[in-house]
Amino acid sequence: MNISFILTLILIAGCGWLIFSLLLSSLRYRRSVSTDMKESSLPEDFGPRLTSVRLRYVRWAFALLVLAALGAHAYWGLFSIGPLGENPDFAGLKDRRDQRNRRAVESTLRGWIYDRHHDGRKTLAKYRYLNGKIIRDYPLGPASAHLIGYSTLVRGDAQLERAVAVPEPVKDDRSWWQKLAAFSKEESRPPVGKDLILTIDYDLQREAWEQLRDKRGAVVFLDPQTGEILALASSPSFDPAHVEIQERWAEMHEDMKKQPLLNRALSEYYLPGSTLKAVTASAAIEARLENLTFTCKSSGWIPPGSGRPIRDDEGEAHGTINLTEAFTRSCNQYFAQLGVEVERQRMGEAAERFGLKVFTNPIDSIGSGRQFDLWNTGNRVLSSVLAPLNSTFVSGRGATRYDLALESIGQGYVQLTPLQMALVAAGVANENGLVMRPTIELGREPLLLSQAMSRETAVRMRGLMASVVERGTASGTFGRMIRGRMTAGGKTGTAQKQVNVIDPKTNKPVVIRNSRGRESIKKEFRIDSWFIGFAPADHPRIAFAVVVEGGGYGSRTSAPIAGNLLLKAQSLGLLNPRNEIKSLRPQSGKR
């Protein structure tokens, strides 16, 4: 039996009996007191003898009611915030019986988040009723956590959940009688957040997560003609349902090796490796230097004024080769020399046309902030929560020829996010050589970011990237996966990045001391695997970027992931031709 319910019954019954007794006593003993009664005629025990027995009962009843009221308050004030308050049955009882709680929940309801098909069976964030409570549910769980985010009472909200929150209340200037008249009408209901229909494909997003499971990396798939994001996944991830659990939240924050809360697609810098040769090649073609040939030796090539050679993997010597062969075989020496020939200014301009932020000095590129104006959206909250780190390229006087040579092959000072590399692939895949602003909201008109290259250069670049798949570094596993099913273009990449060594026991960076006793964090080199590309090769419908930390060669790790995702996209009809998009002509070659 519920204690609070019993105390409430006692209080109600007691109050009723008390009122009835007082009224009855007033009617029964209502009479005039004799004015000539002398004090001497009163007995000594006047008080006890003449006091009504009924009034004494009333006194005790009143005391009992006070105790009942205090008991009810003590129950709700003490027990309900203790262990009992954590009981699911008790929480359900409060939500069902206390209308104030239900009203509070209803007044903070957010909109639902749908995928591009607006199918209620494949929502990305919704509500469901469980054990008498309305709870926020994330059907894809970790697969979309970095994109959708979470909404909890303790942690607040994050990512797209902020974009579907209840809007801030506006000042109500209605008179009191207008408010009273509207109280019982439809408009008096609590406001709810607006539904959000994304460009994301539910099944492709889930498959992207499955391909990355147990790895550290990111996947970005988008439509190069419109900028619509089809899938954006990061791994390791987290379950939004565990965010409110303090132990799980602490584990997520303290895991320095996996960093499950980090959105690697938007908020992690990588060296792009040979995938950046797509930018170098386009810059050379635009500068009419595509016919240059260079000799590549096993001893490597030494940039003027450096004394340090740049070699190919395992000392491979490609001999005297041209742009097509160098791109197909991913020759480091060729593109290092090509980048120096293109020169700093034109390399910087090419990087800027793809959306990178160009700096004069390396020190200025550190902590360069985020791109809050990148997305094609009218929602300022969405633009803020999905703002990626600025991808950077150094091409001023602060960079030597050696630095420029390294950046031309995706090493050195260059820093990019997976989203930015997907935009590089999209610039090549776009039929007019345009980079469209990425969008996550379905139905928005395509919006230009910049013109990365001319239409003619884009055709030439697509041919170069197709040759990589047909007979180059991606012709192995990836080429066999798609052969006979579709055509594609791509560029593999392998990047060596220096990272902190994490102690598996303490889950913290390893600290070492030098001979002078100075402390520093121990470093190691990690080989990251890259693959960017598009499909189909002739009229691309999808552009992509895949990166796997510590994955080794791009052709062995990232390319197979991209192949599986392209096959999935094909089965979902995402590679099918669709209505021609209105041609977009840029006003300027820059943002």
Q: Is the pLDDT of residue 36 over 80?
A: no
How many Å apart are CA 314 and CA 332, to the nearest integer? 12
Burial letters for 46-85: b for 16+ Cβ neighbours within 10 Å, e otherwise? Answer: eeeeeeeeeeeebeeeeeebeebbebbeebeeeebeeeee
Amino acid at the residue 393: F
> Domain for residue 591, yes or no?
no
Query: What is residue 206's three-state secondary structure?
Result: helix
How many Å apart are CA 397 and CA 486, to the nearest integer? 45
Percent of the chain whose pLDDT exceeds 70: 79
Burial class from Cβ neighbours inside 10 Å (0-12, 13-18, 19+) for residue 524 reads exposed
How many Å apart are CA 477 and CA 460, to the nearest integer? 25
Find the mean pLDDT for residues 525-550. Answer: 96
Lowest-pLDDT range of 115-129, 179-193, 295-309, 526-540: 179-193
> Domain for residue 161, yes or no?
yes
Contact criterion met (CB below 8 Å) for 306 and 401: yes
> Domain for residue 38, yes or no?
no
Burial letters for 547-568: b for 16+ Cβ neighbours within 10 Å, e otherwise? Answer: bbbebebbbbbbbbbbbbbbbb
Contact criterion met (CB below 8 Å) for 140 and 232: no
| 328 and 216 housed in the same domain | yes
Task: Give how far Cα 571 sits from Cα of 64, 227, 403, Å.
Answer: 74, 21, 44
Query: What is residue 477's three-state secondary structure?
Result: helix
| 159 and 209 housed in the same domain | no
pTM comes to 0.78
Query: Which pLDDT score is estimated for 43?
Result: 56
Helices (runs of H) and strands (runs of E) counted in the chain: 20, 21
Ordered DSSP codes for 409-460? TT-TT-BB-HHHHHHHHHHHHSTTSEEEPPB-BTTPPP-EEEE-S-HHHHHH
Question: DSSP assignment, residue 153?
Answer: T
| 502 and 518 housed in the same domain | yes
Question: DSSP assignment, residue 501?
Answer: P
Query: Which pLDDT score is estimated for 192?
Result: 53
pLDDT in tens, 315-355: 888 899 999 999 999 999 999 999 999 999 999 999 999 99
- Location of structure tokens 């935009």: 423
How many Å apart are CA 552 and CA 528, to the nearest integer? 6
| 161 and 69 housed in the same domain | no
Find the mean pLDDT for residues 548-554. Answer: 90
> Domain for residue 265, yes or no?
yes
Query: Which pLDDT score is estimated for 403?
Result: 95
pLDDT in tens, 475-484: 998 999 999 9
Query: What is residue 497's three-state secondary structure?
Result: strand
Q: Is the pLDDT of residue 82 over 80?
A: no
How many Å apart are CA 543 and CA 224, to the nearest integer? 6
> Domain for residue 327, yes or no?
yes
| 206 and 191 housed in the same domain | no
Which parts of 187-276 fold into alpha helices (H)? 202-212, 246-254, 264-267
pLDDT in tens, 233-288: 999 999 998 888 888 888 888 888 899 999 999 999 999 999 999 999 999 999 99
| 243 and 189 housed in the same domain | no
Contact criterion met (CB below 8 Å) for 318 and 325: yes
| 188 and 233 housed in the same domain | no
Which parts of 84-170 fold into alpha helices (H)? 88-97, 99-106, 145-148
How many Å apart are CA 95 and CA 579, to the nearest integer? 50
Contact criterion met (CB below 8 Å) for 237 and 146: yes
| 192 and 208 housed in the same domain | no
| 354 and 489 housed in the same domain | yes
| 12 and 156 housed in the same domain | no
- Count structural domains, the chain: 3
Query: Which pLDDT score is estimated for 91?
Result: 59
Q: How many residues does the chain have?
A: 591
Range of the domain at 109: 102-169+181-197
| 274 and 378 housed in the same domain | yes
How many Å apart are CA 356 and CA 391, to the nearest integer? 5
At residue 24 the predicted structure's pLDDT band, cuts being 50, 70 and 90, is: confident
> Domain for residue 501, yes or no?
yes
> Domain for residue 164, yes or no?
yes
| 161 and 77 housed in the same domain | no
Calculate the dihedral angle through the C-alpha atoms of 528, 531, 532, 535, rounding to the nearest 10 degrees.
-160
Residue ranges with strand state E in 452-571: 489-500, 502-503, 508-509, 511-513, 519-521, 523-535, 542-548
Average pLDDT, the chain: 84
120: domain CATH number? 3.90.1310.10
What H or E segment, with its residue span, contains residue 2? none
> Domain for residue 581, yes or no?
no
Find the mean pLDDT for residues 482-490. Answer: 94
534 forms beta bridges with: 489, 543
345: domain CATH number? 3.40.710.10
439 forms beta bridges with: 228
Residue 574 tokens, joined: 């995402």
Calculate the dihedral angle through the C-alpha atoms of 311, 313, 319, 324, rounding to the nearest 10 degrees.
-110
